[in-house]
Structure 1
């Protein structure tokens, strides 16, 4: 996503500045984004006297994190020339809600990114901190959701296709581009005394771009994903379900697509994506395969007594058109198939989710645009909670039925 940035030159004039800082540059950047959305069948409670969820239509103001082209944020990024082609680099990025001013990512002040490292044009870069996995760097940027907003992601963003989760305590390497090829790897230290593998996350990926064609592959593996991948924000529970909730008579469900699988010992995802540009038309396709292994490894998070493993497959096709330099439109279709739970003590049916996404975006200037976005989802089968599957668009309160639609009209400003 293009960003217009201001140089924060005042930092160089601080009294504590010294000669070493004279070769440094620091940039302040950000996004402010919000919209008004109409949602059908949004749950008001997870259960009713009859046993099913209850829902009503909703009109609400949302921050861009849930329902727009980009989440509201601000950040600082900088570099210092160390000589010999080597630079010290850093980025600190904080998400926030435009509606309330609250800090995003569960109250983590620099929850979107917080890292420091070294970069060389010939050898690549190594960074330490809170960062994205290899999918974020390679396959995600080629998908429709990454470019058109969070609710266009796959149901409940179970595969992190729209960067809803980061890796804490991570070490990352990104190579330079060699004849169109680039590779990278990430390792998140679990930090558990006496167990090097507990809560660890590792990821690898690569891309190739030449002319109109861009392709990418990535793989992510996370141990104890309820903690290492879904529970790494300050508001996460050390013992509870961080992947979602079953809801109650007074509260809606959360992430019913995956909430019932929080007892898994391992989550792994392999992803592939490609785009090809024909003049002003960009055609894209993507495939993700995600497995949750070792269900039942944490008995306290397994009320449905699952065992074995479960797999998700997602197929995406998209079309994006630049009608004019200032006006673009897009459409994508996603089909998500979740298999039955292998090894379950009781029968567990599969589930299917189909989603159609539409969008239009008009640039009023280089820094400001207005947009209208829509997503429509249909669910079938049995979800992770052992109930009739309900539609659950990423970032939106789940539907009380198998169908859900959202329409969002809003504005975004980049600085």
Structure 2
């Protein structure tokens, strides 16, 4: 991947002959544009209608960012990342209240001891489990997410006010931990988060596991702490949201506990994988529902040639608890073909079919493929996209 690299070389020596530290800044980004068809989509006129639309980020969210480092000597570096997501269709930020809405952190990294960073960052589920699921990779992405992205493997939200540690590679083993502060006096747990993860690579085998917990992220006697660890929203009010149309489930819940693990095995040009995740949420939506989501994903990738990659996944999701009007469960089939023009540019075609049953009176009782602007009017929904991605 070619990048614009601005490097300040150590060229000026002091009178004692000691050179100044070397530093660098990298400008990078990704643009994902597509044309998407969706059936049964609810609209303002009522009922379900087919929809043809231009979309941004069908596979990977469109973004740009700055990444930099300064060599401090003895294997120690100062590092930073500032990353902003945007909507290619209209050029707007993907978040109305943030410039660097995806990541914004600064810290220190060492070859021997790992990295310690502070700011807005990703959690252990995103870092350690998502790369083993097609929703967390370039081979599936946004629409392949588990229903409502209930386990955050598609990186629907990041953690504010966070301190994060990632270990160096220790013979294939890596570990990490994160803590996101509530930043509220007298309410230390009101909208805090913590997370950890582990991964291990042994030959063709790649294993990862992660845990994420959000505490009092919305429903507390004092109300939502809008300066806390999780505050992502595209709507005007978290407290007023009636359904998952506005925000991730965990933001609306009084608590969320998510665990996940996955494994990939590579044989020749193929990669087979399995991912399991479990999310327990208390009092999500205004109706105060509580329950669990269990996701079982089997996925497969095959490099047909150096330029053509095929991928597919099947996900079964079931719920438990007082889901209301019958406990829903989902079946989802996803497939994608990708053609690389170069290392930086590729075209793709993908599709997802989702079915939920039973519907009952639950607000979760209709199909809704992740990344689609409105749910289906029925228990079924189909999405198909043809698109182009470019990295810089």
Same fold (TM over 0.5): yes
Task: Find the aligned partners of 2:52 and 2:149 in 1 and give their Cα distance.
Answer: 23
For residues 34 and 20 of structure 2, the distance between their equivalents in structure 1, rounded to whole angstroms, comes to 41
Q: For residue 250 of structure 1, what is the aligned residue in structure 2?
A: none
Q: 1:261-316: CA deviations, max 9, x gaps? A: 976321010000110001000001000000013x28xxxx63x354xx31110000
Counterpart contact for 2:182–2:192, Cα < 8 Å: yes
SS of equivalent residue, structure 1 residue 339:
strand
Q: Distance in 2 between matches of 1:115 and 1:234?
A: 22
Q: Give the equivalent residue in structure 1 for 2:168.
A: 176
Give 2:365's aligned residue: 389
Corresponding residue SS for 2:211: strand
Q: Identify unmatched segments of 5+ residues in structure 1.
A: 14-18, 247-252
Residue ranges of structure 2 left out of the alignment (5+ in a row): 11-17, 219-223
Which 4+ stretches in 1 moved above 6 angstroms? none
1:121/1:316 Cα in 2 relative to 1: closer, same or farther (>3 Å)? same
Query: Superposition pairs for residues 217-236 of structure 1, below 5 Å?
Result: 217-226=209-218, 231-233=231-233
* Residue number among 279, 287, 292 corresponding to 1:290 in the alignment: 279
CA RMSD of aligned residues (A): 2.5
Q: Is the 8 A contact 2:104 2:119 kept in 1?
A: yes
Rate the CA distance shift 1:389–1:90 in 2: closer, same or farther, 3 A.
same
Q: How many residues align?
A: 374
Does the aligned pair in 2 maintain the 1:288–1:314 contact within 8 Å? yes
What's the TM-score once normalised by structure 2's chain length?
0.89
Aligned residue for 2:304, secondary structure, equals: strand
Residue 5 (structure 1) aligned with residue 3 (structure 2): yes
Q: Which residue of 1 aligns with 2:27?
A: 28
Residue pair 2:106, 2:118 contacting (<8 A) in 1 also: yes
- Residue 12 to residue 237, structure 1, CA distance change in 2 (3 Å): farther
Q: Which has the higher helix share?
A: 1
- Residues 1:120 and 1:262: Cα distance change in structure 2 (over 3 Å): closer
Task: Tell me what 2:389 maps to.
Answer: 412
Question: Which residue of structure 1 aligns with residue 329 of structure 2?
Answer: 352
Distance 1:398 1:20 in 2: 60
C-alpha distance in 2 between matches for 1:287 and 1:273: 6
Q: Is the 8 A contact 1:360 1:371 kept in 2?
A: yes
1:190 to 175, 182, 185: 182
8 Å Cα contact 2:191/2:230 also seen in 1: no
* Aligned partner of 2:95 among 102, 105, 113: 105
Give the 3 Å change call, closer, same or farther, for CA 98–388 of structure 1 in structure 2: closer
Q: Using the TM superposition, give the Cα deviation of residue 414 of structure 1 relative to its aligned residue in structure 2, in angstroms.
A: 0.6
Matched, 1:151 2:155: no
- Match of 2:38? 39
